[in-house]
Amino acid sequence: MNGSTDVRSNSTTSSNPTRSSKTDTPLPLDTPAQELSGTSPREHGGGDDANRGDRAHGGRTDRLISGIDLLDYGAGGLMPHKVYLIKGGTGVGKSLLGLQYLTRGLELQEPGVLITDQKPENVLAQAHSIGFAIEESVRRGQLAILNPSQRYFELVESPADVMAIVEELGDYIKKIGARRLVIDPVFTLINTSYSSHFALSITQSLINALEDLPVTTLLVASHDENAELNPITRQLEQNAFGVIDLSQDQATGGRMMRLSKLSYASNDNLSAHYRILNGRGLINYRGEGEKVADVTKPWEETSPVSRTVLLLGAQPETIRRVKEALGSDYQVQAESDLKAGVERATREKPGLVLVSPSRALGSVSAILDLARNASSSIAFLSPSGNRQADKVLYLRAGADDFITEPFTPAELRARVDALIRRSGRRLNLRDSHMAAVSPEEMSSLMNASEASPARKGPIMQATGEDRVQFDPDFNERLQRNVDTVSKFDQPFALYWLKANDDDPELNRSLAQLCRQEDVVCHNRAGEFVAILSGTDQNGIKGFENRLNEKLGNRLDPKRVRRGYSLYKPGDSTEGFTQKATNA
């Protein structure tokens, strides 16, 4: 793992890198990322007609703000409950990007979990060195830093072990209400001491189990540190919902970020140079034909910064709380009329503009105007609720941050300090591609209800035609699994089982019956789907004999339906997932 190298060696020490005007150039995106047309309505939270108005930016209510500019302002954020991969060589900032993703979640009141091979105190030191204040969130239980060490590595010897580990992780996620998960490096949970075939099978089972968790996951992997790990990295790339590729750029002396894969939007032109700034992490900039020193010099120059905070549309009680929290370090002013406040912000250039109230058209309009015409940092101060749709709406409109009440004085001061530091240097990418919200998107976001994180429901339905029908979203995942295993050039069976009720003990027993080389695609709530590697008709008989011996009467046909389909080398995998018939 790259550990502290990524964080410490690339951070800046500029204590006050502010400017009075915008200095960075927009990313080379001629048009916003377009939504791919072949995805399922379930995956995107609605049908084609309902979502046509906001396809251009991908700003639906189910998008997650990542804190990574190229993703948020080029592709519209992340699709939730999916697994993404960060890959790159040594010293490019992979670990830092994972911390940046978690820190942005904490700012948006979205708890997170970090699984790492580093000691928690080392992670906190790394975060502190780059200006990410996460210590208080760890103390309050909003961010969990877990170091499984060798204990978990040695446990991972079968698909049942993967299930047990992810079940334990799922309980932890539920306990703290986590929305975000980072595993850095992913090899922390993959045992590579056996055969490469086994490592690939375990990797596949791990990805499948992670996709069933109610979190959005970033996996961190290196592709040049250990040759035997490269096949695993390639498999992660093939199965991840998106891939963020970080690399050194010898031509400019800088670094390049590229979205090499994005399953829900076109990734054409979604690449940009980046550098690492204290308090901001990885920031993107246009570096074509320019040396790093030429592009980043303005960020490191200092000039007097406004310590004025202007509140727009806030209630007297909110104004009082903000003044008390910030104390004498800032000059807090207020303007009740939003239109007059926008004109004042444009004219007087305060360090930060805080906009309230929540879910008002006037607030969205004010943020749009500020994003186009003012150099100040912009934050939305929510007097209520922590709705994901509100966050997406105001950040889509051009706000730099979303602050939810109630807040502690220390928390508000830390957020305001960070926003003031980057006042005057808001990324032009936000102005050119994000500071416009269509009427359809605005209506959808403002009227959306908040959904609490929860595991997905049933993924299969046994039909009256002696076949099984898989949920479209799961079927897409299953097809990826089938395509991957077919490359091993050996026969296999796709085996499924569905009980009438949720039976955790049944699921645990089924996982234990799988061999090391089998791939568990889904195993929860009385449902089981697995690819039995190297299995023909005789292998199916052997597996079912083990089932009957271990489970006996629990497999009563009145309670449990099951079936399979067989694959022989050379067969087509197209439509294979829909061929599973009853046993």
**Rg, the chain, Cα only:** 25
- Total-model pTM: 0.71
Please answer whether residues 133 and 125 qualify as being in contact, where contact means their C-beta atoms are separated by less than 8 angstroms.
Answer: no
The residue among 69, 68, 48, 222 whose CA lies nearest residue 60 is 48
Q: CA 256, CA 284: separation in Å to the nearest integer?
A: 9
Cα separation, 406 vs 384, whole angstroms: 8
| Strand, coil or helix: 574 | coil
Q: With 0-12 CB in 10 A as exposed, 13-18 as middle and 19+ as buried, what is 393?
A: buried
Query: Which residues have C-beta within 8 Å of that of residue 443, sequence separation ≥ 6?
Result: none
**pLDDT by residue for the chain (583 residues), tens digit each?**
333 222 222 333 333 333 333 333 333 333 333 444 334 333 333 333 333 333 333 344 467 889 888 888 777 789 899 999 999 988 899 999 999 999 988 887 789 999 998 889 999 999 988 888 898 899 989 999 998 765 665 667 778 888 888 888 998 899 999 999 999 998 877 766 666 677 788 888 889 999 989 999 999 998 765 555 678 888 888 889 999 999 988 877 788 999 999 887 776 778 888 888 776 788 877 545 545 444 444 444 445 668 899 998 888 988 999 999 999 889 999 998 888 888 898 888 898 998 886 556 667 777 777 777 777 888 888 765 555 666 666 666 667 777 877 788 888 888 888 788 766 544 444 444 444 555 555 555 555 555 555 556 788 887 765 677 888 888 888 988 998 888 888 999 999 999 988 888 899 899 889 888 899 999 988 999 999 999 999 999 999 999 999 888 888 888 888 889 999 998 988 888 877 665 5
The b/e string for 96-118 (b: 16+ C-beta within 10 A; e otherwise) is: bbbbbbbbbbbbbbbbbbbbbbb
Domains of the chain plus CATH, in order, are 55-299 (3.40.50.300), 308-447 (3.40.50.2300), 460-582 (3.30.70.270)
Compute the distance between CA of residue 306 and CA of residue 20 in angstroms, rounded to an integer: 9
Report d(CA 13, CA 302) in Å as an integer.
Answer: 12
* Residue 159 CB neighbour total at 10 angstroms: 29
